[in-house]
Amino acid sequence: MTATFHSAAIFVTDIDRAVDFYETTLGLPLIKRGSFGAEFFAEGGRLGVHPALHPNAKAMVGRETGITLRLLDLKVPFKAEPTEQSWGIMAVIADPDGNTIALWEPPGESA
């Protein structure tokens, strides 16, 4: 059996607001939406955004996700200002529920 990465999940309190943030503000490609929430990215690993309905899921809203995205030309407020390291530039943003996401730009790609 070969293992592959399928998805990571972020839990939110307001799925409509979250989908608007991830699709419109961040520009992530929405591929599926339903009662389960929403799924972004058609190729490779997916990012799932799900309503926090279960007590365990509610406890995961507003925390550090450990997810890093590579995005260009993003204009959102930073939770942690961009810092340049030998491996690129990192910044941290938060979605409307306070879930934090790291942003990464490889070395030499800044405009």
CB contact at 8 A, 93 and 100: yes
Task: Give the residue-averaged pLDDT of 6-12.
Answer: 96
Q: What is the pLDDT of residue 106?
A: 87
Q: How far apart are CA 106 and CA 63, in angstroms?
A: 25
Binned at pLDDT 50, 70 and 90, residue 1 comes out as confident
Give the mean pLDDT of 50-75: 92
107 near 86, Cβ under 8 Å?
yes
Q: Examine the pLDDT at 65 and tell me if it is beyond 90.
A: yes
- CATH T-level fold of 7-105: 2,3-Dihydroxybiphenyl 1,2-Dioxygenase; domain 1 (3.10.180)
Delimit the domains of the chain by residue range: 7-105
Average pLDDT over residues 41-50: 95
In whole angstroms, what is the distance from residue 67 CA to residue 43 CA? 17
Please choose, from the candidates 74, 57, 43, 42, the residue with its C-alpha nearest in 3D space to the C-alpha of residue 9. Answer: 57
